[in-house]
Amino acid sequence: MNVINAIETRRSVKAYDASHTMSEAEIEKLMSLAVLSPTAFNIQNWRFVLVQEPELRQQLRDVSWGQAQVTDASLLVVLTADLKAWDKEPRRYWRNAEQSVQDYLVNAIDNYYRDKPQVQRDEAMRSCGMAATTLMLAAREMGYDSCPMDGFDFDAVAKLLNLPSDHTPAMYVAIGKGIQPAKPRGGQLALDEVVIRNKFK
């Protein structure tokens, strides 16, 4: 399957074969692709929590409106954001660059994020959104279905996952073998309604 086919056939599947297990090689492949997702200044501020313990999955389902895909999908990835990734040895994000480039970017990172909590959060959410898309398209390429999710109690999830205080949940991606097709698309808006050329009139 090529990228266009993956985009066209990716759907948010809700019902999964709970008996199907993904191999560690498949999981590693998915995650190795996810970390190629872009982030501002290459700060790689996503953290992927792979929830594999059945009891913890059930606890997460309980705070996620009882949605079955939380427990039934082969893999539940909770994308969380490290809001302070920009301030954690930022030079390491550019360790392969020339010294002058490192110096410039480390300074730029500090200027962009320091004392700007909304910017830190906005960038983290954008990063997690892009990584989630990468995960879903890679899963589709590998023959799996997926479902992006944000229907959960963010504070309860953070507590269950023992997230550090400078991290926040962003979303889930459930991945597995769908046992029911997605419902027909609800209806895409026309391109001329959502694509604006140059500026709004």
State pLDDT tens for residues 10-36.
999 999 999 999 999 999 999 999 999
pTM attached to this predicted model: 0.95
pLDDT band at 1 (very low <50, low <70, confident <90, very high): low
CATH superfamily of the 3-179 domain? NADH Oxidase (3.40.109.10)
Could you tell me which residues are beta bridge partners of residue 77? 50, 173
The ranges assigned to domains in the chain are 3-179
Pair 70, 172: CB distance under 8 Å: yes
Nearest one of 121, 107, 46 to 78, comparing CA atoms: 46
CA-angle at 64, arms to 155 and 35, nearest 5°: 75
State pLDDT tens for residues 132-189.
999 999 999 999 999 999 999 999 999 999 999 999 999 999 999 999 988 899 999 9
State pLDDT tens for residues 35-78.
999 999 999 999 999 999 999 999 999 999 999 999 999 999 99
Residue-level pLDDT at 2 = 87
